[in-house]
Amino acid sequence: MDGVIPLNKEIGQTSSDYVYKLRKILHTRKIGHTGTLDPLVNGVLPICVGQATKLVNALTGSPKEYEGEITLGKSTTTEDREGETVDEQKLVKPFTIDELNPIFEKMTGDLTQIPPMFSAVRVNGKKLYEYARAGIEVDRPERHIHIYDFHVMGEPVFDETTGYQTIRFHVKCSKGTYVRTLAVEFGHMLGLPAFMSQLTRVKSAGFPIEETFTLGQISDMMDNEDYSFLRSIDDVLADLPSYELNDEEWEVRVLHGGFLESIDSDKSKQLRVQRGGVTKALYKYDKVRDMWIPDLMLLKNN
């Protein structure tokens, strides 16, 4: 069983919980996920199975898209709704969309973030949340991220009783982005405490949430020997250019990790080298050698 499962992760479970459960359902240990989702976050979690586990790093590094809510007027220890209140400042009147849009625009492009204390980033061999739970704050390394798109969705909601305003948003961001930290920074730019009150990952590794399967659906499909929840490696890599190998190229070169030359393809992208329409490896162009060299071997069988 080789391929990628576009899983719909539910709230309350960790990404590792799903890997553990899927190993039992699929009867295989060769499984890996492509980017951690916090227990409070639901949505798209691509799961690599079999030979596709070699794609984990590549898929983890791809941009991701989220929809969620920023609540203005309060900040928490964890930067989400689970933490204890740190600061509270009620809004006298709500912000209009015209007042919010410039903030969204300023927060696009290349940005620098400091990971929250309640995160799995390691410092001196320990995860930050371990320090946080012990009441210890440590220096955290900066992260350079890229925000491709960040915009408001619908009309913000103002609660006159609490003095909070909730803003629904969509964001497309690079690997390593902490969206809850974006929410806090959004509030800072308005001079207010803020936290991320809800988040759903709506796209990852090219899979939109509409194409995902729940754990229950996958279990039922396995009982019925229906494996249509599994996307092939070629489906996942369909956006990359491909090249069909001849006998000599496959048997003498690619099978032994050799180089390829005289291939007319986009040199800025990885190249899928195929045998019988099935991707065997990913190659990349080396301009020093003026040749295509192996980047990732996927399948070595004939």
Q: Is 17 a catalytic residue?
A: no
Residue 67, CA distances (Å) to 107, 114, 167, 208, 219 in order:
16, 21, 11, 12, 27
Helix (H, G, I), strand (E, B) or coil at 255: helix
CA distance 99 to 34: 36
Beta carbons of 183 and 41 less than 8 angstroms apart:
no
3-state helix, strand, coil in the chain (%, to 5): 25, 35, 40
Question: Which are the contacts of 32, defined by CB distance < 8 A and separation ≥ 6?
Answer: 19, 47, 48, 53, 56
Of the candidates 2, 17, 38, 110, the residue annotated as catalytic is: 38
What are the b/e assignments for 50-79, b being 16+ CB within 10 Å? bbbbbbbebbbeebbbbbbbbbbbbbbebb
Q: How far apart are CA 207 and CA 179, in angstroms?
A: 19
| Residue 76 near residue 194 (C-beta atoms within 8 A) | no
What residue type is assigned to position 3 of the chain?
G
Point out the residues that are catalytic: 38
